[in-house]
Every structure is written in C-alpha cells, then in structure tokens.
C-alpha cells in the first residue's frame, strides 16, 4: 500500500509587471533543500537556477523565463512567506554609529516600487519609437558583471532588451527577434547619445523590490534604512 500524496493549498498573487493573477503553492521539503544547497554554495548562478526551478514548480501556468527580475523577487518572497512564515530576521549596520541593528521584516509589507518617471517606450525621433522589455535574472547578472568588464559588453546586454521598433507613420512593428544580431547591432550603431541616455534611464528607473525600515540609533535619533533586491531579502 502506497503512502498518500499530501495536497498543498493554493494561494493567489498579482504579478507586478503585468497585473495578471497567478496561483501558487508553498514549496515542499524537496524544494527547500534545493534552495538551501544553492545558498550554501554561495554561487549566484546556482542560486538563480534554484530560485527559477522552485518558482517554476510552485507557480501555475506561468512561463518563468518570461518574468522580470522584480517579478521573480516578489514571487519567491511570497512563496517563502506561505512555506516558512511571513517574517524575515534582518540585520544591518548603522552607517553613522556602526552599531548593529536587528529587526524583523514582514514579507506582506514588502512591495515593488514603481518609479513615476519610468517608461518602457523610448522615442528615437518623430517617426520611430522602441518598446523595451524587462531583463531576465540572467541578463541582470550579465549587466552587473559587465560593470567590471568592457563597456561594449554592458551595452550589448542592455540593447538586447529592445523588444520592438514601431514606425508611427505606418504603424508597422518590427520585432527585434526577427533580425540577426548583426542587423540589430547596425541599427543600434545609428543611435544618438540622447537615445542611449533614454535606454540607460529605462534601466535606472526600473521597478524594484523595496522596503523602508524605520528605526532609532543608540542616541535615540530617528532614521531610515532602505532594503532593495532579492540579495537583501532572501537570506
């Protein structure tokens, strides 16, 4: 006689980048082991793969590869809240006094922060504009690595997130995926510095997981500490 399979409860969340509802379940012991092994390795590539694997297992009818990095951060935190608990022990150092501040963050209070100046639409000129897509976890890591490498590599990763080009005079839409990397490179080489600055602005103002902690230092002074990104929250 086989042991019974335990049914897991389903919960619902809203995917930040699309506003669409999705159902998810808590992670199991098997999936928790995947996360713990990855964390112990301290290998960010392995951690990324494990997070994507767990989200793919727990999230229903959603392609994980199509989710933005802030979607994944938000989803894994919510899965953790239902799987373990909704509180995360968090500590940091006060930059003025050097004292250690220990606190507890309620996952339910962590939100994705949307910059009002952010836009996925980038005007090239009066005739053309581009629509950007949000980078994947892997692409974000590539951009972070490129910060210490070549400018060409970083720029190449940045422009890889150009999704479509729209001709406003004819409403014709060009999908970047339909062109070779050489054709896209030739197209990008024609950008002015103003267009490049707009692309950089797109990345700088992208939505991000963000939470503000109010606290007092050892002198009783009221202060705030801002926590951003999965590297900070998911420990």
Cα–Cα distance measured from residue 38 to residue 32, given in angstroms and rounded to the nearest whole number: 10
Domain boundaries, the chain: 11-112+208-233, 121-204
Which has more confidence, 229 or 64?
64
Rounded CA gap, 172 and 93, in Å?
53
Joined together, the tokens standing for residue 190 give 């024609």
* Cα–chain center distance at 197: 21
The pTM (predicted TM-score) of the whole model is 0.81
Amino acid 38: pLDDT: 80
- Least confidently predicted of 55-69, 77-91, 151-165: 151-165
**Has residue 10 got a pLDDT over 70?**
yes
- Torsion sign, CA atoms 114, 66, 135, 79: positive
> By percentage, how much of the chain surpasses pLDDT 70?
92
* E strands, 159-220, in order: 162-167, 172-175, 208-216
Instruction: Write the pLDDT tens digit of every residue in 92-148.
Output: 999 888 899 999 999 888 889 999 999 999 999 999 999 999 988 777 777 666 555
Cα separations (Å) of 35 from 62, 105, 119, 234?
Answer: 20, 20, 34, 10
- 102 phi/psi in degrees, rounded to 5: -110, 135
Within 13 A of 103's CA, how many CA atoms are on the CB side?
20
């Amino acid at each position: 006689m086989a042991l019974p399979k335990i049914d897991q409860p389903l919960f619902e969340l809203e995917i930040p980048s699309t506003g669409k509802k999705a159902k998810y379940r808590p992670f199991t012991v098997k999936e928790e082991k995947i996360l713990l092994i990855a964390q112990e390795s301290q290998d960010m590539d392995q951690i990324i793969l494990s997070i994507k694997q767990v989200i793919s297992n727990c999230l229903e009818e959603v392609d994980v590869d199509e989710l933005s990095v802030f979607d994944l951060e938000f989803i894994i935190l919510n899965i953790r809240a239902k799987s373990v608990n909704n509180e995360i022990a968090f500590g940091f150092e006060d930059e003025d006094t050097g004292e250690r501040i220990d606190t507890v963050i309620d996952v339910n209070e962590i939100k994705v922060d949307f910059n009002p100046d952010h836009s996925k639409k980038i005007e090239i000129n009066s005739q053309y504009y581009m629509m950007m897509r949000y980078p994947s976890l892997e692409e974000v890591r590539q951009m972070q690595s490129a910060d210490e490498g070549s400018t060409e590599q970083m720029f190449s990763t940045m422009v890889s997130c150009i999704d479509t080009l729209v001709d406003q005079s004819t409403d014709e839409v060009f999908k970047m995926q339909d062109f070779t990397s050489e054709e896209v490179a030739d197209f990008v080489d024609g950008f002015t510095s103003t267009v490049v600055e707009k692309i950089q602005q797109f990345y700088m103002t992208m939505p991000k997981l963000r939470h503000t902690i109010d606290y007092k230092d050892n002198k009783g002074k009221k202060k705030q500490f801002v926590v951003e990104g999965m590297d900070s929250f998911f420990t």
